[in-house]
Amino acid sequence: MRVIVLMNRAAGTAGGEGVSAATVEAAFRAAGVDATVETLEGDAMKTRARAALGKGGDAIDAVVAGGGDGSISCVAGVVAGTPTPLGVLPLGTLNHFAKDLGIPADLEGAVRTIAAGHVRALDIGEVNGETFINTSSLGFYPPVVQERDRQRKHLGRGKWTAALSALVKVLPKVHALRLAITVDGQTLHRTTRLVFVGNNEYRMSLFTQGERKGVDSGLLYLYLVKRPSRLLLLRLALRALFSDAGSTEDFESFCVPCFTIENRSKKERKILVFLDGEVKSLVPPLLYRVRARDLLVLAPEPPPGPS
């Protein structure tokens, strides 16, 4: 088995717990896998993945992404739709995607999973050509992520400290979105501060964030906060500490393979969109769709369902 491993130089585990290109290469060698390991900046991972796939033929058996969910998603978007599977080394802080698939958090366990060669066909979400493996959102959250990342980079704050500070700073200032959402053949006019889109069904709980009932239903789960109240957002955040906030009457929800979001406000032509840890500025209409089982991933076999 031959693989190319693309590691994000800034990944949480890689930067803090002694995971280097040499240790990763040694782990693959011990598992009987011929691995070429490269450590790259985040943006370069996508370019390198495209180049690896562009060689064609049987040059490699898998493209392995090492990093957090943003890095995994970046490479997954390149691999999706091809016959080459994605391998996952969960080297980030939260690693939701790996947890959902039952991929071990330790390096040796993740490498053994890749070496086992079991391929699963999973769904991947897409909006205006940008892909996501976990979640996407609009409203107050994308600017909070931007401010969080700014504080981490320029002020040296930890992820959670920066996130809390960013929430306190951004939430009082962010405007509600006036949207026209076409779903299930009808167009809904809504004013909201949060739109959450899950690739398959999510529990919206902070202590179980990333947990999904499945990864191949062929459906996106769309959640809208019904009222544009900042106080409601804080209440929902507190509820999410202890239970599934998405099950409350404060959310309007749909499960569909596709839908469209148009911006009814003429002041801002673009909308900030959160995608698996990254924030993009996209021009509406936002065309969301699920690409059912279009991503091949090396992962453990799922547990058997109820008989």
In this predicted structure, the answer to whether residue 23 has a pLDDT above a threshold of 70 is yes
Residue 245: per-residue pLDDT: 46
Average pLDDT of the chain, as a whole number = 85
User: What does 212-246 look like in DSSP terms, one character per residue?
Assistant: BS-S-SS-EEEEEESS--HHHHHHHHHHTTTS-GG
| Cα–Cα dist 282/269, whole Å | 9
CATH number of 2-117: 3.40.50.10330
Q: List helix spans (H) across 36-190.
A: 42-54, 69-79, 96-101, 107-116, 141-155, 159-170
213: pLDDT confidence band, cut at 50, 70 and 90?
A: confident
Beta bridge partners of 280: 273
**Which segments of the chain belong to CATH 3.40.50.10330?**
2-117
Burial of 66 (0-12, 13-18, 19+ CB in 10 A): buried
131-292: what fold? Answer: Tumour Suppressor Smad4 (2.60.200)
| Cα–Cα dist 170/144, whole Å | 6
Beta bridge partners of 192: 177
11: pLDDT confidence band, cut at 50, 70 and 90?
A: low
Range from 60-74, 121-135, 152-166, 289-303 carrying the lowest mean pLDDT: 152-166
What digits encode the pLDDT tens for the residues 225-275? 876 566 556 555 544 444 444 455 667 889 999 999 999 876 668 899 999
Residue 301: per-residue pLDDT: 86
What digits encode the pLDDT tens for the residues 176-211? 899 999 999 999 999 988 899 999 987 655 434 446
Q: Is 168 helix (H, G, I), strand (E, B) or coil?
A: helix
